[in-house]
Chain A
């Protein structure tokens, strides 16, 4: 029997129960007390994130599977972020596909219709064949599942860094929409409800030492492999939405299987489960394996007794297994029976309150500023733009238009835009910045939140809610834990500043390479926002390029530093600049003054202008108009926050607006037809780099 419980934790259990638990009971406790399900190393600090707000209908407290926010007109959106890092490292196709399945079930467990998926993928260096194989499998897995069940993948990120060589990060986020008064909870408040389980339970997804792995090949990892079944996923999706208002609570079966789903749903009440009633895929499963199996495409419903037949009838139509497996009881104990035999019976309180840990903290050493690398300007520009490539190879494999509400297709703007049923538009974007986080997690947490906020503004939307995903190495290493706490502080500061609640999230620790080095800290923010106006970015010959914001000589953690050697100051996010400039950009879109907007992030101003050049335009840039620093490298490549470029016919509008709001804007150049960059008296032809932009991924992978 392999448990992750420490001796200290086992002592707590023995003391509490005043007896030695049975093997099945250990497994039950082990599942609930695992880092994955209990957040025992992070919970203390997660409580410090702002999760309240006037629009918040449902937040992260009490085991809710996802957060919900009011968007007006009687509707709410539900959002959630998840990762499938470890399974995808073993089996990229099924690992990524089941990640999509899992996040979809989180959304429908609130009775919400999933309308959009985002995928944020980080793999190691594409020079390695294994990483290329991983990436191909991950992308086709996401496409396979998302396309099959008809939820569009509307955006995401795709990034490569040696830090992910052995440990890719596969984050998926989903948004659903639901009538505000129809939101279904994941928890019950009274005893007497029947527990109904849909789907078959099998041996997939059992722990490493399970009977599955023994039966297969002795490869311990097979137990972690789960096979994606989008056909079943689609049935679960359709039926769940159909019966949502006939049930009292819905819970997705994810990590920890029935053990976790039942315990969390009972929410402090008790439950009695008859394991012999659970529909099985394989004969002769051990009762304790049924408790912790993590088979996909299963849902648990709490149902009033007189509605049970009605619920299972809906599944019968699809010949999908559905059975009453137990009920919620008053006595606060979670009991699993097989026939009349008690397999496990543990008090709810014990299961739901593992010891929380605050590990040792040792702050990162502040690094010296270092030498500024000596690079020819033209070489620098060419290197930077060669590092920013089109991701079309990936998203062309996704059906991003299914459901026909997608307004902006992936890659066309800094944020996705989707039509909502109340005639408003939903913008959604995910952001991370591992290179900055490796330098300063606090500034990084602040900055990724601000970047998401800016990204939404570039399509005219104002952020209303966010979810976070905190991905780090081993929390018991003081410098790792320190960067984790710092990132939370940074995210909290930003979230409070913008009054945007964090309505859900996820923590993933123990992301390390085979040598035991932690990944660069990779917290990730997914933000949703609302716009009243449809906006499709365009570029035309002759437009002015207006820069909003102050450019600062803060080069550490930038793409320039990554390529030519790390140097300079750490960027400090000045949130009021993000706030004011975002407001101007949104207003300019609303008044139709801006026809294309881009926030300034990776690659600095050159990185932002590059997105215009690759669409078939030349740019003449006047570097003297870039205000805030005299250093030409910083002018072009600094990635400090708070800034945008917009394309407009009316740069005066911006000048006047800036005066009224206390912002800094300047016209820094013009767009014309072509394929290069005029800077001062130099012309840099970028035809070759443009070709690379469009072909890089395909050439690398195919």
Chain B
């Protein structure tokens, strides 16, 4: 299974990195972009056929080993099968 873990600041918490990218790069190209948020992206390749199981594994890693700070960040976990037959 391919599992993606995305860590971003919660809504309402500032994201200076996103703001800076928007102000100094994006806005020079277009005025259509309302907001840019930056975050951290981790990709796990997991030995498992079960989507829920794979998601749980990543959730456990993130929570128990403090890959993020639940007070400041929110996480999103997305899992999909890898289509090359390996697992």
A residues lining the B interface (CB < 8 Å): 90-94, 129, 133, 137, 202-204, 212, 215-217, 219, 221-222, 225-229, 231-232, 281, 319
Within 8 A of A (CB), among B1-55: 9-16, 19-20, 23-24
Contact A227 B12 (CB under 8 A): no
Let me know if B57 is at the binding interface, CB within 8 A: no
Number of B residues near A (Cβ < 8 Å) is 16
Contact B12 A225 (CB under 8 A): no
Contact B10 A204 (CB under 8 A): no
15 A-B pairs with CB atoms under 8 Å apart are A91-B69, A91-B71, A91-B72, A92-B69, A94-B72, A137-B69, A204-B14, A215-B11, A222-B72, A225-B13, A226-B14, A227-B16, A229-B19, A229-B20, A319-B24
Contact A219 B16 (CB under 8 A): no
Contacts of B24 in A (CB 8 A): 319
Additional 17 contacts, C-beta under 8 A, given A90-B71, A202-B14: A129-B66, A137-B69, A215-B11, A215-B12, A216-B10, A222-B71, A222-B72, A225-B13, A226-B14, A227-B14, A227-B16, A227-B72, A229-B16, A229-B20, A232-B16, A281-B14, A319-B23
A221's partner among B12, B16, B66, B71 (CB-CB below 8 A) is B71
A226 to B19, CA, bound (A): 15
Contacts of B23 in A (CB 8 A): 319
User: Which partner residue on chain A sits nearest B19 by CB separation?
Assistant: A229
Top-3 shortest CB links A-B: A229-B16, A227-B14, A133-B66
User: Which partner residue on chain B sits nearest A221 by CB separation?
Assistant: B71
Binding site of B, secondary structure by majority: helix, strand, loop or mixed? loop
User: Which partner residue on chain B sits nearest A224 by CB separation?
Assistant: B71
A203-B72 contact in complex given A231-B20, A319-B24, C-beta closer than 8 Å = no
Contact A216 B16 (CB under 8 A): no
A20 to B29, CA, bound (A): 53
B9's partner among A90, A227, A232 (CB-CB below 8 A) is A227
Contacts of A219 in B (CB 8 A): 71
Contact B71 A227 (CB under 8 A): no
A99 to B72, CA, bound (A): 17
A226 to B13, CA, bound (A): 8
User: Which partner residue on chain B sits nearest A319 by CB separation?
Assistant: B23
Contact B16 A231 (CB under 8 A): yes
B11's partner among A94, A202, A216, A228 (CB-CB below 8 A) is A216
A228-B16 contact in complex given A216-B10, A319-B24, C-beta closer than 8 Å = yes
Separation in Å of the B25 CB from the closest CB of chain A?
12
Contact A216 B13 (CB under 8 A): yes
A528 to B16, CA, bound (A): 34
B14's partner among A90, A215, A229 (CB-CB below 8 A) is A229
Contacts of A203 in B (CB 8 A): 12
A129 to B65, CA, bound (A): 9
A320 to B14, CA, bound (A): 16
Contact A225 B72 (CB under 8 A): yes
A232 to B13, CA, bound (A): 16
Separation in Å of the B13 CB from the closest CB of chain A?
6
Contacts of B20 in A (CB 8 A): 229, 231
Separation in Å of the A258 CB from the closest CB of chain B?
18
A216 to B23, CA, bound (A): 25
A204 to B14, CA, bound (A): 8
A227's partner among B11, B15, B66 (CB-CB below 8 A) is B15
User: Which partner residue on chain A sits nearest B20 by CB separation?
Assistant: A231
Contact B13 A227 (CB under 8 A): yes
Contacts of B10 in A (CB 8 A): 216-217, 222
Contacts of B16 in A (CB 8 A): 227-229, 231-232
